[in-house]
Structure 1
Amino acid sequence: MKPTDYNFRVKDSILGLQFLFVAFGALVLVPILTGLDPNVALFTAGIGTLLFQFVNRSCVPPIFLASSFAFIAPISYGVATWGIPATLSGLVAAGFLYVVLSFLIRLKGDEFLHKLLPSVVVGPVIISIGLILSPVAVNMAMGKTGDGAVQLVPFDQAIIISMIALTITILVSLLGKGIFKLIPILMGIIGGYIVSLYFGLIDFSKVSTAAWF
């Protein structure tokens, strides 16, 4: 067996489910923040995920590809300055650049990439992205839209739900054992969902009336 060979395990499906929830939130949030269509983002992410799995075969565990938060600032600027068609063209160009980089990595290995983008460069970029998005998370935790313009859920209920979900996530991450230690985000989502049901914030009417196909 090669070091890159992957054998499916049942617990990996649970980890994949957790990542699906995380990636889905990011995948819907990024288009909303940048003015693009979430439906297009979901469709292209699905196609990209299937293509990724087909190309890599059994070399890597199954993973769902979602939006990159690193693109939020340039996409927002592009949409405001040149419009959506030009911005989408830029995203296509960025995709081709990724393809070129993938061939370079295949030919030369990933060492040149680590020299070009060392940890001292990548780390601050990731930190800055998190800091830029932190107001969005705070607004949503208070029951508002990402920009804070509209109150979607009463503040008292929203803050209780978000704090319970955050507390569960932290406790499971620190105290959980076995498979639970690997899925703290999923456990936080489940806990927050249960509390939302208690407050009557979950509406199943559209689900029950929606067509299967």
Structure 2
Amino acid sequence: MQDEFNDPLWRQIISGAQMLFVAFGALVLMPLITGLDPNVALFTAGLGTLLFQIVTRRQVPVFLASSFAFITPIILAKDQFGLAATMGGVMAAGFVYTFLGFAVKLKGTGFIDRLLPPVVIGPVIISIGLAMAPIAAHMAMGRAEDGTELIHYQTVMMISMPALLTTLIVAVFGKGIFRLVPIIAGVLVGFAMAFYFGVVDTAKIAAAPWFALPHFTAPEFNWQAILFIVPVALAPAIEHIGGVIAVGSVTGRDYLKKPGLHRTLFGDGLATTAAGLLGGPPNTTYAEVTGAVMLTKNYNPKIMTWAAIFAISLAFIGKFGALLQSIPIPVMGGILCLLFGSIAAVGMNTLIRHQVDLSEARNLVIVSVTLVFGIGGVLIGTGMGPEDFGLKGIALCAIVAIALNLLLPGNDSWKNKKGDEPII
């Protein structure tokens, strides 16, 4: 391996800008979908990365941003409990990662394998993707959730479908680093089509200041919003472990031992808590940057420091945030048709890759009930009002899946076919 840690400063800066470019599409897509401020998301992603580096002693070359698993609960929690209460839930999700970090330090990783085996994680991830499929379809057709037409159908199809097609083409046929930025490519083409058809609102861009503080939002704690969001944090926790292992496999280092999985989980927890404190989406390790590390072989963690600095700097450009927020709904909808389906496919791949046998009654019960509870809108409780107790959607199906796995006989299936080696 080359001695990448002696790279000159100018090369580190350029590589840092490149890493942010790779992560940028999915980084800003999360706040645009959920209605959060993209400038705040940029700031908290940069801040979270720097906090992660402090906790891990700047040994792991990753950039932090939000997992798409949080999209569904954040949208629903915002609608029902408000933005401030949703941020309280995000902070609570950060506490979950912190708790997992301490638990791993004390008990090792075995308890995570036992608590969250593929038969639990797989259907929960499938539910996360498919539960949002109707929203993606409505956005791609330029309609509100109640079916009201927001933009003329023929016009919206000329915007959303080229955005989707471009994303597909770049993802499948792109070469080198361009294969890592299909979302950016889709957004650019969709935005150009929207601008051509006069759908882009340029007045807000012109009125926005060049430099401005991001619109930070202080959290408030609502136990219903917390229950809505916290269970979903378990799926990105598994993604985190997989991401750390993947980065270690290409850098030739065992990050599970040094700096240790407990430190990387704690770093995610601290970054997510800081994001919730300021009004940003949760921050976890990020698959797109993992792919960029593999492709470019830039293993120097200092590169991620520069990527974080660039993200924080962009957060203070007011016109940049206004430009992002002017991206029309059909552009997002076209890309989300692929994105939400991809999330569901990851869940299916989890079941397939770990050879979860659905002919076994135990596995069939867990998967079946989890999917129906997650996608079908089952509500357990008295309602979802401010004074009611209720669980539904992803939060409910995650809790049910974990409970069924722990209560039904045969919960040692977290071990793989060869013995006691963890399946993660």
TM-score range with shorter-chain normalisation?
0.7 to 0.9
Residue matched to 1:60: 60
Structure 1 residues 55-88: Cα deviation after superposition (integer angstroms, max 9, x where no partner): 33543334242265347448846974x7776665
Residue matched to 1:157: 155
Q: TM-score, normalised by structure 2?
A: 0.40
The alignment of Structure 1 onto Structure 2 pairs a total of residues equal to 201
Residue matched to 1:35: none
Contact 2:69-2:128 at 8 Å conserved across structures: yes
Residue matched to 2:185: 187
CA distance in 1, matches of 2:192, 2:208: 23
Residue matched to 1:105: 104
Structure 1 residues 151-171: Cα deviation after superposition (integer angstroms, max 9, x where no partner): 433221211211111111112
CA distance in 2, matches of 1:140, 1:188: 15
Query: Offset at 1:10?
Result: 5.1
Residue 51 (structure 2) pairs with residue 25 (structure 1): no
Q: TM-score, normalised by structure 1?
A: 0.72
Which deviates more, 57-66 or 118-127? Answer: 57-66
Residue 126 (structure 2) pairs with residue 127 (structure 1): yes
Query: Offset at 1:132?
Result: 0.4
Give 3-state SS (helix, strand or coil) of 1:153's partner. Answer: coil
Query: Offset at 1:115?
Result: 3.2
Cα RMSD over matched residues? 3.6
What residue identity is the alignment partner of 2:126? Answer: I
Provide closer, same or farther for how the CA distance between residues 179 and 11 of structure 1 changes in structure 2, counting only shifts above 3 A.
Answer: farther
CA distance in 1, matches of 2:162, 2:176: 22
Residue matched to 2:139: 140
Structure 2 runs not aligned, ≥5 long: 212-424
Query: Offset at 1:122?
Result: 1.2
CA distance in 2, matches of 1:54, 1:160: 47
Provide closer, same or farther for how the CA distance between residues 164 and 12 of structure 1 changes in structure 2, counting only shifts above 3 A.
Answer: farther
CA distance in 1, matches of 2:172, 2:70: 28
Structure 1 residues 119-145: Cα deviation after superposition (integer angstroms, max 9, x where no partner): 232121111111000111111111234
Provide closer, same or farther for how the CA distance between residues 152 and 79 of structure 1 changes in structure 2, counting only shifts above 3 A.
Answer: closer
Provide closer, same or farther for how the CA distance between residues 92 and 177 of structure 1 changes in structure 2, counting only shifts above 3 A.
Answer: closer
CA distance in 1, matches of 2:130, 2:48: 28
Query: Offset at 1:208?
Result: 2.6
CA distance in 1, matches of 2:184, 2:70: 24
CA distance in 1, matches of 2:171, 2:79: 38
Provide closer, same or farther for how the CA distance between residues 42 and 103 of structure 1 changes in structure 2, counting only shifts above 3 A.
Answer: same
What residue identity is the alignment partner of 1:196? Answer: A
Query: Offset at 1:89?
Result: 4.4
Q: Where in structure 2 are the equivalents of 1:41-56 lying within 5 Å?
A: 42=40, 45-46=44-45, 47-56=47-56
Residue matched to 1:93: 92
CA distance in 2, matches of 1:84, 1:186: 27
In our comparison, the structure showing a higher alpha carbon Rg is 2
What residue identity is the alignment partner of 1:190? Answer: L
